[in-house]
Amino acid sequence: MSTTLFQSNIRSLPLVGRGKVRENYAVGSDRLLMIASDRISAFDVVMGEPIPGKGALLTGMALFWFGKLAHVVPNHLTGEAPESVVAADEVDQVRGRAMLVKRLQPLPIEAVVRGYLAGSGWKEYQQAQAVCGVRLPPGLKLASRLPEPIFTPATKAEAGAHDENISFEQAAALIGADRAAEVKAAALQLYREAAAYALARGIVIADTKFEFGLDADGRLTLMDEVLTPDSSRFWPLDSWREGENPPSYDKQYLRDWLEAAQVDGKPWSKTAPAPALPAEVVAATAGRYRAAATQLTAG
């Protein structure tokens, strides 16, 4: 397991961008080195305390899923060792937590797929009996399994801003109707296969988000991370009940703590800076990430 890394500092390569969790460095004109730090964000705010081992776990899970789902849609992996493109004294920042990937033209939407009602989808359903313009049957409850998974895209937010749910029609206006239909079909197939696999391993994937880009030939390509606790809502199957908010292997534990947190005697405003995380919250969050990784990828 890599040592804890809050922020990478690779001097041998140009920094392209620093996200909520990852740093991207240019490797020539056609590749990127993506390093997963141990930072964690909630409500689009980066916490001040790292989660030990998180970056390595996210990278390992993403590599597992990229391999398992490669037959559905091409992905951005080059197959080259990340350690091969940095200076010798920078290898420790890269080992176990980085991917060397093709440089793509990212699509400006997040491809969210929901198989269960939770989070913002549950809130929308209560108000309109629909999620992102997708009508749903009456009588569904919190954590209900949907009759079929639904594609509910969102806009991509910059650091510190909030993603916004949009309709399929709005997504089509952003990337074109044919491309939106291709993204929808790919995202739904990725979710169906991953959800079936995870269910057999005792984990419900309630929802997840995928990111896609276009390669030099204009082919749709899966990128960033896939099916990790940062991008998905994972529930233990044996604790899932309709009408109840299940315990989770993802960031929901942290979100619940933050919802109850007080700053200067008032509820946290969900804007930076975040409240300081107690050691027990850091440890419990790390434990949930490890449990999900072990249950899904071991053996």
| pLDDT of the residue at 3 | 81
CA dist list (Å): 184 to 187, 192, 241? 5, 12, 28
Per the prediction, the chain carries an average pLDDT of: 94
Best CATH choice for the domain 15-104 from the list 3.60.20.30, 3.20.80.10, 3.30.200.20, 1.20.1740.10: 3.30.200.20
Q: Name the residue ranges covered by the structural domains of the chain.
A: 15-104, 106-268+288-297
| pLDDT of the residue at 164 | 87
Reply yes or no on whether the pLDDT at 206 is more than 50: yes
Q: How large is the average pLDDT for residues 252-278?
A: 93
Reply yes or no on whether the pLDDT at 1 is more than 60: no
Radius of gyration of the chain (CA): 19
| pLDDT of the residue at 158 | 62
Structure tokens at 104: 């793509």
**For the domain bounded by 106-268+288-297, which CATH number is listed?**
3.30.470.20
Reply yes or no on whether the pLDDT at 162 is more than 90: no
Tens-place pLDDT, residues 124-137: 999 999 999 899 99
Q: How large is the average pLDDT for residues 14-34?
A: 96
Query: Among 8, 9, 17, 119, which Cα is nearest to 59's?
Result: 8
How many angstroms separate the most distant Cα atoms in the chain? Answer: 59
Distance of CA 111 to the CA centre of its chain: 11
Tens-place pLDDT, residues 42-86: 988 999 999 999 999 999 999 999 999 999 999 999 999 999 999
| pLDDT of the residue at 261 | 95
Q: Is residue 25 within 8 Å of 33, Cβ to Cβ?
A: yes
End-to-end CA distance of the chain: 18
Of residues 250 and 89, more confidence is placed in 89
What's the burial of 243, exposed, middle or buried (CB within 10 Å: 0-12/13-18/19+)? exposed
Reply yes or no on whether the pLDDT at 161 is more than 60: no
